Amino acid sequence: MKVVIVGGGIAGCATAYYLAKDGHQVTLFERDSLASHASGFAQGGLRPVIRGSRQPEYQNLSDFSIGLHRQLAADLSGSGTGEEYSDFHQKGSVLLIQDETEAEESKHVYESYTDYHQYDCRWLSFGELSHIDARISTQVIGGLYFGVAYELDPYKLTLGIWQAAESMGAKLINREITGLKVEGDAVVGVRTCDSVVDADVVVIAAGPWTAGMLGQLDVEVPVSPLRGQILRLDAPGPPLKISLWWDTDYATSKSDGLLWIGTTEEEVGFDDRTTYDARERIIGSAVEMLPYLSEAELVQQTACLRPMTPDKMPIIDASLPLKNLVVSTGGGRQGIALGPGMGMATAALVTGNEPPIDVSGFSLKRFG
């Protein structure tokens, strides 16, 4: 099949990879550069969805996609570690708890994992956490530990997946799509400012820009930008051995030698500028959990626009008013973790096959 994909983030590149792997002719359009938006600026932590905290279909997609991450790390690196292309490695993750009520809930979560040993989930008291890192604040009373969690470099990951797709024949065009070519009730290609490219199927994986692109055709896709800001610090002392999470924030030492902390969730339209207020809030939250960071030096502040839907679940759908059109977007804060799963499922929908994971819950129909 001749497939055009619009959007060079993790969802678009993963879709291109799985289609090219099956021998299809793939052309990917990206107006800027690959991974130049949310996929290139994310934190890159992969950890299981806490049981009961999200919809079952979301949890299944997350588990499936993290499995694909492990497979990609072996397939694309050649060494079985993935370090050659994405800095993929296993790294324990702890959800820090400050409240007794939340602690009881977390202990119940831990107990629910007793039959799921592949997750290596444990409840750790503050004393046990102190043995891992004595710099954690005494305001913390414990934490939910996930041993089977991973970390990677999202920018390297997205580029690595695309390079693999390109080696199998996929083609990249750095040009903005001005519209879709429609004949009757079917999409038959895309338009740029100076050309038309025909296609059997068009995939729109343009993140928060998907809504505006398809809105021109009266196809309503409820996805909007959610700004997230991240700080990189030069922190004193040794790096953190595990990644730490609390509320909407986190702290983790990355392969660049810096400590990354974040993040914000801001509904500010398509404004991707960094702000002083966000910097102060993120630093304040991190210092509360890790007091030693009051001595850290700010090295860099970044911001990106994540594609977010009203129910915080992705949209993966081929049952649209126009034929030969597939939508894949809305990964939100977990876009990197969900990316390979979204890509494989989208590729299946493009070819008319049954996806390897049930994506019926990610249809546009759920919005009415």
The CATH number covering residue 62 comes to 3.50.50.60
Query: What share of the chain in percent tops pLDDT 70?
Result: 95
Cα four-point dihedral sign 33, 37, 41, 42: negative
Do 176 and 244 belong together in one domain?
no
Q: How far apart are CA 319 and CA 313, in angstroms?
A: 17
pLDDT for residue 105:
80
Q: Which of 285, 308, 331 is the last residue of a domain?
A: 308
How many domains does the chain fold into? 2
Within its chain, how far is the Cα of 351 from the centroid? 24
Do 280 and 232 belong together in one domain?
yes
pLDDT mean over 246-270: 96
CA 56, 59, 62 angle in degrees (round to 5)? 150
- Whether the per-residue pLDDT at 80 is higher than 70: the answer is no
> What domain range is 215 assigned to?
2-69+154-222+310-367
Position 37 in a domain: yes
Position 123 in a domain: yes
- Whether the per-residue pLDDT at 171 is higher than 80: the answer is yes
Report the CATH number that the domain containing residue 230 is assigned in CATH.
3.30.9.10
Q: What pLDDT, in 10s, does the model give residues 321-361?
A: 999 999 999 999 999 999 999 999 999 999 999 999 999 99
Do 339 and 360 belong together in one domain?
yes
pTM for this model (two decimals): 0.95
3-state SS, 121-152, equals EEEEEHHHHHHHCCCCCCCCCEEEEECCCEEC
Cα four-point dihedral sign 243, 249, 251, 257: positive
Do 48 and 113 belong together in one domain?
no
Do 204 and 349 belong together in one domain?
yes
Do 232 and 299 belong together in one domain?
yes
Question: Could you tell me which residues are beta bridge partners of residue 327?
Answer: 204, 317
